[in-house]
Structure 1
């Protein structure tokens, strides 16, 4: 599956992403979400890149939804709060 925007995420992941954003005072529109092949291992997976302003984080997409837990950990750590909305 190719991900160009957050709307391309599987429905369950999209709903979880929206809830994580809302719990931390964000909306999905505050983030730029895209997918790209893992440059270190292009045959075994895609990375989900989440950007806000000058800050970006890459998450490996897996069937267990681990990227969502990592994204929420970054929100809890205020990683994306350092960047103004852009």
Structure 2
């Protein structure tokens, strides 16, 4: 099932902490360490605004939260089902 994940840092300090966490995540293998069953189809992050969007294919919200749990205290995260990748991506162009 496809999900749209919207995320936004609410505070500049949290955005800086998130950037450090992201760097550490990449240094430790990043995308290769995503949970099994978590397949990113599209993503965009707007650092100057502290927000971004991802479209992922996953069988469960539990798998999605395995990926996003470390960041949940730093940002607002919204996860919602989406039916079509092209239509969803077109909304954010």
Q: Same fold (TM over 0.5)?
A: no
Higher normalized contact order (CA 8 Å, seq sep 6+, divided by chain length): 2
- Compare CA radii of gyration and give the structure with the larger one: 2
Taking structure 2 as the reference length, the TM-score comes to 0.25
Q: As a proportion of its length, which structure holds more strand?
A: 2
TM-score (norm 1): 0.26
